Amino acid sequence: MELLAYPFMQRALIGALIIGLAAPALGIYLVQRRLSLIGDGIGHVALTGVGVGLLTNTSPVLTAVLVATIGAVGVELIRERGRTSGDLALALLFYGGIAGGVVLVGLSDDSSNSNLMQYLFGSLITTSVQDIAVIGGLGVAVLVAMLALRPALFALCNDEEYARVSGLPVRTLNILLAVTTAVTVTIAMRTVGLLLVSALMVVPVAAAQQVTRGFRTTMAAAMLIGVGAAGAGIVVSAEIDTAPGATTVLLALVAFLGATLAATVRRVLVRRSHPPVAAEPPDVVLHG
Amino acid sequence: MTNVVEVRHAAAGYDGREILSDVSLSVAPGDVVAVLGANGSGKSTLIRTVLGLVPLRRGEIELFGTPQRRFRQWQRIGYVPQRLGAGSGVPATVGEVVASGRLARRGIFHFPGAADKAAVREALSDVGLLDRIGDPVSTLSGGQQQRTLIARALAGKPDLLVLDEPNAGVDAASQEAFAESLTRFAGAGGTIMLVLHELGPLRPLIGRGVVVHDGRIAHEGTPPEPAGHHAEPGHDHVHPHADEVKAGICEWAPTERTKAY
């Protein structure tokens, strides 16, 4: 615990807590829409942005936000057209993103393997004061947008056609979700890494929905699980010297298993206390 | 008085395939119009085009006297799709789904107030599901889910209800329940446009039937009565050679699923 006295640990923890709250708040809409893997794909694209930043000596976070946003809006436009080839187009975009990123990082002056690994899997010691300001500002923006627009985003992700007939600005909201996904992926890459970002958006939601009944409670529970896993992940990884992103994701998965187990136990108990009643009387009664 | 829906020579379709070729239709305030037709005749496409979900290729559509492209008063329209959007696994309560019906009236930047909550409860009691307000929609039967969607549309207090096959695959109790809801809505002066496969318990409510066939309106008038052996009680409408049976103009589009009543 004395590790938390170090400023770099405090910064890492603050960053992780913000992401732990923001990622599931966005992720619930992606899960509802069956786009659980989109964060992963945008993460691939963001790596190209990191490469551009390292190569041009600008802030990699800034260039990653820009490139990931362009990628996310592109994906949304493909999805909107609803063609079957969209699946293939996404695959091309994602693989292009990660391959471009690896090549560009390799071409830059700062081309050590460990540098690439930091972006792919996150690192505790790389979070600077400036990073925390960016993560804090963007993270709060994501949180506010996802919470304030919850009724509209819920309606959109639940039934897009109904949202359209309700006169909602469907396209604007879709683009907002795409941009928010790109921003969340990028601010989370310092802590959990680009390859595991999506897990923090999806796993807390998957865990929460095992035990909840409504959308709002699922959102609240997912944010609690997310912030808990992210905070604990930082502390545990510092104590036992493991990668923080992977540790966080494993803790979230433990929460998922725990929630699934709890839900199963509850179902069994309910069934035992209310044995099923025969729905209809028998048609015939046989004597003798 | 301006018509609620005015369709003039509309053509529409998806992906290069034209489904409606030349449809004209007027729906006046207080009308209850059933759009009938065989599977694939374009009856669902007709109402989806009216709502702007299918792009109009030719012709004109006006909603409440405003050209559809410039129409913004969506709170005046309550849409009831065929079924609940694809279940994603994220739970949602009946109350949360019905609350979406208030968005058009409230705007997206406002959180629900007392009037919104009251409207949700009122709509749910109208369809007889108030006791399920806190239950996940996934635990409801198909018919109860359909009633939830009607409650969502009613919660917005619309002037026009548009329903897409509301009684497809719905149990008798739910059919009765929403026939009552629709009767109350029409009784209060509401306008209804609905796609139907069979009239069923909604029969007494329908003022006018419009039969869509081959992308055109083939018949318009009082809902056609089943004739001959189709009208016999208990007649199970079976067409062993379904391909050879063409929807006649004045009988309303027999299909293998149609039953006499």
Per residue in A11-38, pLDDT tens? 889 989 999 999 999 999 999 988 888 8
The answer to whether A8 touches A124, Cβ cutoff 8 Å, is yes
**pLDDT, mean over chain A:** 87
* Domain locations in chain A as residue ranges: 2-197
List domains and CATH numbers for chain B: 5-244 (3.40.50.300)
Taking alpha carbons only, the member of A45, A42, A13 closest to residue A27 is A42
DSSP string, A72-107: HHHHHHHHHHT-TTHHHHHHHHHHHHHHHHHHHHHH
Question: Using the beta-carbon criterion (under 8 Å), do A159 and B81 form an inter-chain contact?
Answer: yes
**pLDDT, mean over chain B:** 84
Q: What is the DSSP letter of A118?
A: H
pLDDT for the residue numbered A59:
82
Closest residue in B to A83 (Cα) is B15
Fold of the domain spanning A2-197: ABC transporter involved in vitamin B12 uptake, BtuC (1.10.3470)
Token couple for A229: 């896993």
Residues 6+ apart with CB under 8 A from B73: A167, B63, B64, B66
Nearest CB partner across the interface for A218, out of B53, B85, B90: B90
Q: List the beta bridge partners of residue B211.
A: B36, B219
Question: Quick check: B96 contacting A, CB < 8 Å?
Answer: yes
Pair type for strands B32-36 and B191-195? parallel
Q: List the beta bridge partners of residue B31.
A: none
pLDDT for the residue numbered B61:
95
Is pLDDT of B250 > 60?
Answer: no
Is pLDDT of B253 > 60?
Answer: no
Question: Quick check: B75 contacting A, CB < 8 Å?
Answer: yes
Is pLDDT of B77 > 90?
Answer: yes
Reported confidence tier of residue B116, pLDDT bands at 50, 70, 90:
very high
Chain A residues within an 8 Å CB radius of B152: 162
CB proximity under 8 Å: B 218-247 to A:
none
**Distance, C-alpha B256 to centroid of its chain:** 21
Token couple for A133: 């300001």
Taking alpha carbons only, the member of B154, B132, B134 closest to residue B143 is B132
Taking only the tens place, the pLDDT of each residue in A168-183 is 999 999 999 999 999 9
pLDDT for the residue numbered B114:
93
Taking only the tens place, the pLDDT of each residue in B176-232 is 888 899 999 999 999 999 998 878 788 888 999 999 988 888 888 887 665 555 555
Is pLDDT of B120 > 50?
Answer: yes
Mean pLDDT of the B16-37 span: 91
The answer to whether B219 touches B209, Cβ cutoff 8 Å, is yes
More confident residue, A63 or A271: A63
Taking alpha carbons only, the member of B84, B94, B158 closest to residue B129 is B94
Is pLDDT of B261 > 70?
Answer: no
**Distance between A172 CA and the closest CA of chain B, angstroms:** 12
Nearest CB partner across the interface for B91, out of A159, A165, A209: A209
Is pLDDT of B234 > 90?
Answer: no
Reported confidence tier of residue A287, pLDDT bands at 50, 70, 90:
low
pLDDT for the residue numbered B230:
55
First to last CA, chain A: 76
Is pLDDT of B40 > 90?
Answer: no
Question: Quick check: A32 contacting B, CB < 8 Å?
Answer: yes
Q: What is the DSSP letter of B111?
A: -
Question: Quick check: B111 contacting A, CB < 8 Å?
Answer: yes
Taking only the tens place, the pLDDT of each residue in B2-19 is 899 999 999 998 877 889
More confident residue, B225 or B29: B29
Chain A residues within an 8 Å CB radius of B81: 159, 161-162
Q: What is the dihedral of CA B214, B83, B47, B178, to 10 degrees?
A: 110
Closest residue in B to A152 (Cα) is B108
Q: What is the ipTM of this complex?
A: 0.85
**Distance between A127 CA and the closest CA of chain B, angstroms:** 33
Reported confidence tier of residue B245, pLDDT bands at 50, 70, 90:
very low
Is pLDDT of A275 > 70?
Answer: no
Token couple for B145: 């889910």
pLDDT for the residue numbered B260:
39
Is pLDDT of A86 > 80?
Answer: no
Is pLDDT of A58 > 70?
Answer: yes
Taking only the tens place, the pLDDT of each residue in A113-156 is 667 888 888 876 777 888 888 889 999 999 999 999 999 999 99
Reported confidence tier of residue B252, pLDDT bands at 50, 70, 90:
very low
Taking only the tens place, the pLDDT of each residue in B131-141 is 999 999 999 98
pLDDT for the residue numbered A90:
79
